[in-house]
Structure 1
Amino acid sequence: MDIEKARFNMIEQQIRPWDVLDQEILDLLAVVKREQFVPPEHAALAFVDMEIPLPGGQRMLPPRVEARILQDLSVRKHENVLEIGTGSGYMAALLAQRARHVLSVEIRPELVTMARLNLARAGVGNVEVVEGNAAAGWDAAAPYDVICISGSLPVLPKSILAQLKVGGRIAAFVGTLPVMEARLVTRVSETEYQVTNLFETAVQPLDGAEQPSRFQF
């Protein structure tokens, strides 16, 4: 496989047509090597428009979804980011290129190990990966400028909203199948939040989050 041609095609044929037009983001996708964060057995899928299996039954989001979220969060160099759900570490690596520091929390030990190795190999030094369940937020370094949530939630918990600085943004996938929305939530004051629906999608539930009952009584 011609890796650079595959990367170019991913950016130009999948990502740009999905309204990812910020040239800095497009350039970043060429710098952070996605293939370094894909399990070796799925290396051929690194640039394909699909979710990629990870250990523990988890999955990497499609490249166009990652890029769109990165663009809409508009992370700035002085900002601190909380990522909930590290996965392979790829999204953390992208966020780290835009942020001062990224704290990424992952519930599965095997993914913590994988992400740390991937990030170290890629030379990313401003990401801290910790093991834990951050489905209700992570108090340790709150409040945050940006919160990026990698899996879907039935509703966005108030505990996560409370950990956002005024002016900060949250990217979250909210809802249950078959209706989910990627949302950008901006805290405009101590008591007010502005919600923008970005696009419809279907994303794996966040590992460790409380899910609604399947049964109705």
Structure 2
Amino acid sequence: MDNDSTTISRARAEVKPDLQKQYDRNHLLKDFTNKLYDLRKARNFKEPTPKTIAHLSKCFRYCVSQHQEDADKMKTNLLALGKHVFGDHSYCGSWCEYLQNPLKYKPKNLPYSRYLCDENLKTSVMDLLNKYASEADKLTHLGSSQPNESLNNTVSSKAPKANFYSGSQSNDYRVAAAIAQKNLGYGYVSEVCQSVMLSPGEITKKVSKDYDQQREK
């Protein structure tokens, strides 16, 4: 699930007190990126440009993805990330090109190929990364809520939230159609027609087949 604290607290209260939450990979990255932008806006820092934030987010994603089985290494590398962009390579590992060639290395992914130098920014970034590092054990074995989001989008395409359908049986049929499309594919329309003794139509079959092929790709 995402970083919604209300849902997990209610689940623990009503289902199981020691229930553990599995973080969603995409929500985690979005959360980190948004906090960098919030940091830039709140403190009016000049150095964290969109390019810098994109680079930090990419490195954060690599770090979390490559250490899904080792929370300790993830913690070390999260801290290394914050120090690396400010020219401190004391925590860096074999991935750091500076350690391979200190004389020629330049941080080409940072603006003007220069290290960041604002000490206040460094403190803020390290505080943020320390927070994630302290929860490194929760960032291992990440899951994905994309299948859930996909189903929600399918349901909302047939029963939009902007319209009131729950006052009639229309809502039940719309949700059932979304579930059939998710499980069976677009061909469910033809099957429903046949079940009620109606001709599914050649064009309907062709369009359904085309949609199913796109889905498989």
Q: TM-score, normalised by structure 1?
A: 0.25
Higher Cα Rg: structure 1 or 2? 2
Say which structure is richer in strand: 1
TM-score by structure 2 length?
0.25
